[in-house]
Amino acid sequence: MAAPGENLRINPDRLWDSLMEMAKIGPGVAGGNNRQTLTDDDAKGRALFKRWCDEAGLTMGVDKAGNMFARREGTDPDALPVYVGSHLDTQPTGGKFDGVLGVLGGLEVIRTLNDLGIRTKHPIVVVNWTNEEGTRFAPAMLASGVFAGVHTLDWAYDRTDAKGAKFGDELKRIGWVGDEEVGARKMHAYFELHIEQGPILEIEGKDIGVVTHGQGLSWTQVTLTGKEAHTGSTPMPMRKNAGLGMARILELVDEIAWSHKPHAVGAAGHIDVHPNSRNVIPGKVVFTVDFRSPDLAVIADMEQRLKAGATKIAEDLGLGIEFLKVGGFDPVTFDEGCVSAVRRAAERLGYSHRNIISGAGHDACWVNRVAPTSMIMCPCVDGLSHNEAEDISKDWAKAGTDVLFHAVVETAEIVG
Ligand code: HGY
Ligand code: MN
Ligand code: MN
């Protein structure tokens, strides 16, 4: 396939302006974003993205999970499209770039093709996946999981948030239930640009991460049941303190993860304490243990040791305990052909690069099940993400999107 000339580059100022414009929707309280999935702010972000796609001459399709697909025609309408995208939803204390860089970087690829009047054989489709973060509705990557056949649409529709609102009802409320069957679209290839969300590229001074693999993820929700009682008048031997049980289990989670250093990680980000009153011993605690590793056997070992150790802790403290698997996917090996296209693009453009394993989960991890897929990463400041201070440089955004442009356009086959 003819590769794009190394002089072909995207417009970094236009990309940056779009990133900053999108960041105004669902602002956080510390300079980042709180544009959680299926909220009114998510709807506003979707509307802005759709307006930009309309202005770029794209045809928008939406499926029944709210996934958005903006299509630029190719010269061969029967050729399977090359897809490029990520997600616009954010964490409650999210940054301006997690996910958004991948969606608007994909749009910038289209805008640059339009500027240059370049046609490709394969159509190109820019994607916004619904609910990548899984923070309001677990699990993460929910809608791309339905697309890849991992979850049913009905199961996704039944996911509830902390207030009991259902995913399907909220999607309907914001007016983004599309008419396409989820997963009906077939892809020639899928590319996702994403910030690293870790420190490696910045520390090593590399412009580009050529993502060869994604580590696996396991989310286990643990429910501990003790007995509410007065924190002052209840003698220590009589207590059934679910909060104490959680504290000991979280120590165990940390110990298990460290036992598999340097790659495994473990923590709990979601914790609900009931009744969460200053002078009531917690009678119930619900929390989600997030284990990750590039090695499936390590994930299985961590899950098994959590169950055994937490059960023992609960017994010692006279607590009830329940485990529920609420999310997870196996480690991912991305498509060698797509990975090579990314590596060739970085080399052609003169960007420093290194192979990297994605520490975070991404929609690409599910799409990889149904289409040749790979990812491109750019550095982020101090490796920080899922924090409103998340930051990247315009140069990093440019380098990542230049590489995205070349990988996508080479795969879509320039016609002229
Ligand atoms: O959890 C993840 O890795 C992703 O940010 N949803
Ligand atoms: Mn993301
Ligand atoms: Mn994220």
Instruction: For residue 221, give the 3-state DSSP assignment.
Output: strand
Instruction: Ligand 1, residue 133: give the atom nearest the CA.
Output: 6
Considering every ligand atom shown, identify the ligand nearest to the alpha carbon of residue 215 and give its number: 1
Which amino acid does the sequence have at 18?
A: S
Residue nearest to atom 2 of ligand 1 (CA): 361
Q: Measured from the CB, is residue 94 less than 6 Å from ligand 1?
A: no
- The structure's pTM equals 0.95
Residue 42 near residue 87, CB atoms below 8 Å: no
**DSSP of 279-335:** TEE-SEEEEEEEEEES-HHHHHHHHHHHHHHHHHHHHHTT-EEEEEEEEEE--EE--
Angle, CA of 401, 367 and 350, to the nearest 5°:
25
Round to whole Å and give the CA distance between 47 and 303: 41
Which two structure tokens, joined as six digits, stand for 24?
Answer: 């105004």
Q: Distances in Å between the alpha carbon of 360 and those of 56, 139, 196, 292?
A: 31, 14, 8, 9
Is the CB–ligand 1 distance for residue 360 below 6 Å? yes
Count Cβ atoms below 10 Å from residue 136 Cβ, excluding itself: 23
Residue nearest to atom 1 of ligand 1 (CA): 361
Choice between 99 and 416, residue whose per-residue pLDDT is larger: 99
Confidence check: pLDDT of 1 > 70: no
For 33-47, what is the mean pLDDT? 98
What are 218's two structure tokens? Answer: 């396991």
Ligand closest in space to the Cα of 360? 1
Ligand 2 centroid to 105 CA: how many Å? 13
- List the residue whose alpha carbon is closest to atom 6 of ligand 1: 133
- Ligand 1 centroid–CA 287 distance in Å is 17
pLDDT of residue 202: 98
Cβ 363 under 6 angstroms from ligand 1: no
Q: How far is the CA of 239 from the centre of ligand 1 (A)?
A: 37
CA 189–ligand 2 middle distance (angstroms):
19
Average confidence (pLDDT) over 319-329: 96
Above 70 in pLDDT, residue 44? yes
- Ligand index nearest the alpha carbon of residue 135: 1
CA distance 175 to 242: 41
Q: Give the pLDDT confidence of 369-384 residue by residue, as tens digits.
A: 999 999 999 999 999 9
What one-letter code names the amino acid at 147?
A: F
Residue 183: count of CB within 10 angstroms of its CB: 18
What is the Å distance from ligand 3's center to 130 Cα?
A: 12
Owner of token pair 């140069």: 395
Residue range 374-399: mean pLDDT, rounded: 98
Residues 76-106 pLDDT 10s: 989 999 999 999 999 999 999 999 999 999 9
Determine if ligand 1 sits within 6 Å of the CB of residue 283. no
292 Cα nearest atom in ligand 1: 3
Tens of pLDDT, residue by residue over 216-268, are 999 999 999 999 999 999 999 999 999 999 999 999 999 999 999 999 999 99
For residue 21, the 8-state DSSP code is H
- For ligand 1, whether the C-beta of 140 sits within 6 Å is yes
CA-CA distance, 46 to 40, in Å (whole number)?
A: 10
